[in-house]
Amino acid sequence: MKILRLALAQINPTVGDIEGNVLKICDFISKAKKQNAGIVVFPELAVTGYPPEDLLLKPQFISDNLDALKRVQRETKGITAVIGFVDRKTGVKSRQCDIYNAAAILRNGKLIGVYYKNHLPNYGVFDEYRYFKAGTESPVYAIGDVTVGVNICEDIWYPEGPAKSQAVAGAEIILNINASPYHLGKLSLREEMLSRRASDNNIAVAYLNTVGGQDELVFDGGSLIIDRAGEIIVRGRQFEEEIIIADVRIDGPSRPGKRYLAPAASSLGEEVYKALVLGTRDYVNKNDFSKVVIGLSGGVDSSLVAAIAVDAISKENVKGVFMPSPFTSKESREDSSALAKNLGIRIIDVPINEIFESYRKNLKREFKGIHEDITEENLQARIRGNILMSFSNKFGWLVLTTGNKSEMSVGYATLYGDMAGGFAVIKDVPKTLVYELCKWKNSREGRAVIPERVLWKEPSAELKPDQKDTDTLPPYPVLDPILKAYIEDDKSFEDILSSGCEKECVQKVIKMVDKSEYKRRQSPPGIKITPRAFGKDRRFPITNKYRSY
């Protein structure tokens, strides 16, 4: 019976931190050696972090990454390591260099092979044709008595791709290294596809994903080993750094019972919540912040963001600011205080009324005879934005914004007001899912950390008397499916109507989405959790006269 002891190094590298990434890689190589692993596998572009974006256009950056790989190479005495890096080669036709999204196969201190990614994704958040040339070969390598095929991320999604050629060429196991961004439900998509790939080609597949947050993206780990029968024998943790050691039977199906399956999320709520915690923690830490500040309104969005922040970087590092106006209700004050108390965070009280009055006074001459309108509502939001930014400037706290995807979609948010901040934690979370996440959090804690009333009172921006979100928007359970159909699924107006929505309502929603592009363009980055987020995932012109309704 042929057994390969495989180590999956599900690490969390940082983009651009070549030194730090190399240290981490060497540390995990030494862990794998201690466990007598035959092969240790690292993620796609582990040396540079993923995605390095236009850093890849700097020749010095490529050189630094190549030097770093040489240092790693020296650490592979007595083991084989597969590591993602950027390779460079002078082009055949051009004098300039081509670069490749590559995997180095390092064995016993020597570089025994380099694989170039064949299939470069250039959709959604991906821009790989911007940088890389595609590889055209899919070799196999003899590692001891095992024949191995290495390929990278997107490659494995093609049934007729490198994995098949490698299986045909005699590979006994496929090592597929990834930097695969999370969106809800992606884990099961991956597992189905990989299981099919393994059984179709009668070959074991090890799928190693990176983990960690990088700007808009969260890489969720959840690495897998699947035997040649298509059975999952190893599943790594989601959202955590981990080294997974497994003995993989190469010449037959695994023995029943020899499995390591980290517990998967019990619900969508848990999965998304954990993604948001990791994305927030990594954005804060990797950008060298230690503390964050959040405007607490007593509403559900800011309550959720505060709970996530506390789970991400601990309560001492989270500051709340309550900024009441005359339109702020007693309930809002009570609920934000209760939330802060439940979370154990400090809440600072800065009323905005006096500042608001000083603006009104100084603008009175120019605005004479004109009714109050959205201008005065936005002013209040912008005063709050300025106050939060003042705390940020004075104490170095990162401002977390609290807008959700439903609001970002229809522009129900004030530019430079509640949109002011460095990181938009729930920017890609529809309002209906915001409630679900709060409920999951409360049930997990076994108490109403987020006060019950926050979950059932009617949402309001409280920028004028008796204001309700439904004055401007359809109820969220009506709004969210329209938004998903239009934004995530590119459904036409007719398609959306045919799913039973009211015509005027759909027209109004689409118009609001189209008209808000300029706001989204100036919004802070936030964590992608749906198949299509705002940001690099959805690239819309601001100047755009297309009307689909």
Q: Give whole-number Cα distances, 58 to 97, 141, 536, in Å.
A: 12, 32, 21
44, 128, 154, 407: the catalytic one is 44
Q: Is 518 in the site for a second copy (CB under 8 A)?
A: yes
Selected from 94, 136, 188, 362, the binder of a second copy by CB under 8 A is 362
Selected from 141, 219, 322, 391, the binder of a second copy by CB under 8 A is 391
Judged by beta carbon, residue 163 or residue 415, the one nearer a second copy is 415
Angle between helices 59-73 and 18-34 (to 10 degrees): 20
- Burial (0-12, 13-18, 19+ Cβ within 10 Å), 543: exposed
Judged by beta carbon, residue 22 or residue 203, the one nearer a second copy is 22
Asked about 44 being catalytic, the answer comes back as yes
Nearest approach in angstroms of CB 366 to a second copy is 6
Angle between helices 300-313 and 431-445 (to 10 degrees): 50
Number of residues assigned to the chain: 549
- On whether the CB atoms of residues 479 and 432 are closer than 8 A, the answer is no
Cα Rg of the chain, angstroms: 26
Give the distance between the most distant pair of CA atoms in the chain.
Answer: 89
**Per CB under 8 A, which of residues 214..233 are in contact with a second copy?**
214-215
Angle between helices 268-286 and 431-445 (to 10 degrees): 90
Asked about 117 being catalytic, the answer comes back as yes
24, 75, 128, 153: the catalytic one is 153
- On whether the CB atoms of residues 529 and 186 are closer than 8 A, the answer is no
Selected from 130, 255, 258, 341, the binder of a second copy by CB under 8 A is 130
Q: Is 363 in the site for a second copy (CB under 8 A)?
A: yes
Stretch that binds a second copy, among 270-278, 290-298, 326-334, 391-399 (CB under 8 A): 391-399
Q: Is 492 in the site for a second copy (CB under 8 A)?
A: yes
Q: Tokens 């603008």 correspond to what residue?
A: 363
Nearest approach in angstroms of CB 64 to a second copy is 8
**Per CB under 8 A, which of residues 132..191 are in contact with a second copy?**
none
Binding mask 393-412 for a second copy (x = CB under 8 A): xx------------------
Q: Is 127 in the site for a second copy (CB under 8 A)?
A: yes
Give me the sign of the Cα torsion angle 83, 84, 85, 91: positive
Nearest approach in angstroms of CB 390 to a second copy is 5
Selected from 95, 361, 368, 447, the binder of a second copy by CB under 8 A is 361
Q: Is 540 in the site for a second copy (CB under 8 A)?
A: yes
360: left (phi over 0), alpha (psi -120 to 50) or beta: alpha
- On whether the CB atoms of residues 35 and 55 are closer than 8 A, the answer is no
Stretch that binds a second copy, among 26-34, 149-157, 189-197, 358-366 (CB under 8 A): 358-366
Asked about 153 being catalytic, the answer comes back as yes
Using the 8-state DSSP alphabet, how is residue 539 labeled? -
**Per CB under 8 A, which of residues 272..291 are in contact with a second copy?**
282-283, 286-287
Strands (E), 395-435: 398-401, 423-424
Judged by beta carbon, residue 25 or residue 454, the one nearer a second copy is 25
Nearest approach in angstroms of CB 376 to a second copy is 8
For 99-123, b where at least 16 C-beta lie within 10 A, e where not — what string?
bbbbbbbbbeeeeebbbbbbbbbee
117, 427, 484, 528: the catalytic one is 117
Judged by beta carbon, residue 112 or residue 389, the one nearer a second copy is 389
Site size toward a second copy, by CB under 8 A:
84
Nearest approach in angstroms of CB 228 to a second copy is 27
For 155-187, b where at least 16 C-beta lie within 10 A, e where not — what string?
bbbeeebbbbbbbeeebbbbbbbbbbbbbbebb
Judged by beta carbon, residue 129 or residue 260, the one nearer a second copy is 129
Binding mask 422-451 for a second copy (x = CB under 8 A): x-----------------------------
Nearest approach in angstroms of CB 301 to a second copy is 20
Other CB atoms within 10 Å distance of the CB of residue 95: 6
Strands (E), 395-460: 398-401, 423-424
Q: Is 378 in the site for a second copy (CB under 8 A)?
A: yes
Stretch that binds a second copy, among 99-107, 251-259, 466-474, 541-549 (CB under 8 A): 541-549
**Per CB under 8 A, which of residues 55..84 are in contact with a second copy?**
55, 57-61, 64
CA 542 to chain centre: 25
**Per CB under 8 A, which of residues 19..38 are in contact with a second copy?**
20
For 57-86, b where at least 16 C-beta lie within 10 A, e where not — what string?
eeeebbebbeebbeebbebbeebbbbbbbb
Judged by beta carbon, residue 260 or residue 540, the one nearer a second copy is 540
The DSSP secondary structure of 486-520, one letter per residue, reads IIIS---HHHHHHTT--HHHHHHHHHHHHHTHHHH
| Residues known to be catalytic | 44, 117, 153
